[in-house]
Amino acid sequence: MRGSSLARLLLAVYVLLVVYASLYPLAGWRDHGLSPLEYLLAPWPRYVVAFDVAADVLGYAPLGLLVALVLPARLRGGQAVAVAALAGAALSISLEAAQTYLPTRVASNVDVLCNTAGALAGGLAARLLIPWMPAFGGWRARFFLPGVQADVGLALLGLWIFVQLNPATLLFGSGDLRHLLAGPPGPARAPEFFVAIEAVTAAANLAAAALLVSAVAAPRAPVRRLIVLLVAAALAVKTLAFTIILRAQDSFAWLTPGALQGLATGLVVALLAASLPRVARLAAAAVFFMAATVLVNLAPPNPYLAEILKLWHQGHFLNFNGLTRLLSVLWPFAAIGYLIVLAARRRDEALL
């Protein structure tokens, strides 16, 4: 893992996520006539919210971890930790300075301090993990194909799990562009109509993501076990999102009749389709992604989901929700593009 293309790719993706979340909603830019670094000399705030401190530290810990992992091997121990902390501080100072031009954001020296502490903690964690990296590299080589192309697929699967943190979607639903393609409201629908939509959406997206796993898996890897682990991780993240963002008693509010049917159907389809030839799996995954995305965009808004989300007070999660929503919109199109690249490379290899 250390110095690998996967670590570099994950770092690049994570930096982009941090930038977007820090500057969301990226609107209303204006110059207040103040220095963008003046916030560094501002007095300490009278009240410091524990939640904000924890969020700032935890948000930059993965950044520090990944920075330490991409450094060359000659930078060891304290040097790697120091570079990780400095990288986190530099990014935080820059983003807080940019926030001075956004009317909805407040630049804070406390945020810089917490972000730096998070990057430092991530660097320290990397120092503890680096001795275990050869074992991780062996696991990576055993279960997945080598090379940057497979690393991109693994990064996409990681983002698919991350997208499940957005509670405002159907189970595994993504690619929703209805806010850009809004039409007149249609007639009222029976609950069974929305149950069917969620079942098909969940099943198609689950099967497609599972086939994406099989596309980057090594020839002798236990593909079906990897699929089950992927689905279990996604459901754990979905449950965590409902627990934290909504209420503890709503942890399993996502487990609707449609979601349950989609889970069962999608898992059966995925486990059966895993034995198909690789080209057929790539084609099936692309078809599943496209069908689910089209369905999400043609379906009317689900009033039953809206009732659940009335409990959602975004508050501290406003910027985080903007990030997960963006990823949810873009993810299926990125996955389809990736499958096209895999299929094209397969065709080129067959012609050689």
Average pLDDT over residues 196-220: 94
Cα separation of 191 and 181, whole Å?
24
For residue 352, what pLDDT band results from cuts at 50, 70 and 90?
Answer: very low
- What pLDDT digit, counting tens, does each position of 6-54 carry? 889 999 999 999 999 889 888 888 887 888 999 888 888 888 888 788 8
For residue 317, what pLDDT band results from cuts at 50, 70 and 90?
Answer: low
Compute the 3-state secondary structure of the chain and give helix, strand, coil in percent, each to the nearest 5. Answer: 70, 0, 30
pLDDT the model gives residue 201: 94
Q: Tell me how far the alpha carbon of residue 169 is from its chain's centroid.
A: 14
Angle at 322 between CA 319 and CA 323, to 5 degrees: 95
Whether residue 312 has pLDDT greater than 70 = no
- What pLDDT digit, counting tens, does each position of 87-111 carry? 999 999 999 999 999 988 888 999 9
Q: Cis omega (within 30 of 0) on the bond before 36?
A: no
Whether residue 327 has pLDDT greater than 60 = yes
Lookup: tokens for 280: 């057929």
pLDDT the model gives residue 48: 80
pLDDT the model gives residue 86: 96
The more confident residue out of 253 and 261 is 261
Interior/surface letters 17-26, b for 16+ CB within 10 angstroms, e for the rest? bbbbbbbbee
The more confident residue out of 55 and 260 is 260
From 7, 6, 233, 37, select the one nearest 122 (Cα to Cα). Answer: 7
Note whether 317 and 202 are within 8 A (CB).
no
pLDDT the model gives residue 208: 96
Cα separation of 206 and 261, whole Å?
12
Average pLDDT over residues 58-76: 88
Average pLDDT over residues 113-130: 92
Task: Give the residue carrying structure tokens 């993240």.
Answer: 237
For residue 204, what pLDDT band results from cuts at 50, 70 and 90?
Answer: very high
Q: Over pLDDT 90: what percentage of the chain?
A: 47
- What pLDDT digit, counting tens, does each position of 288-301 carry? 999 999 998 888 87
Supply the pTM of this predicted model: 0.85
Average pLDDT over residues 173-180: 83
Ordered by start, the domain boundaries in the chain are 5-140, 144-351
Mean pLDDT (the chain) is 86
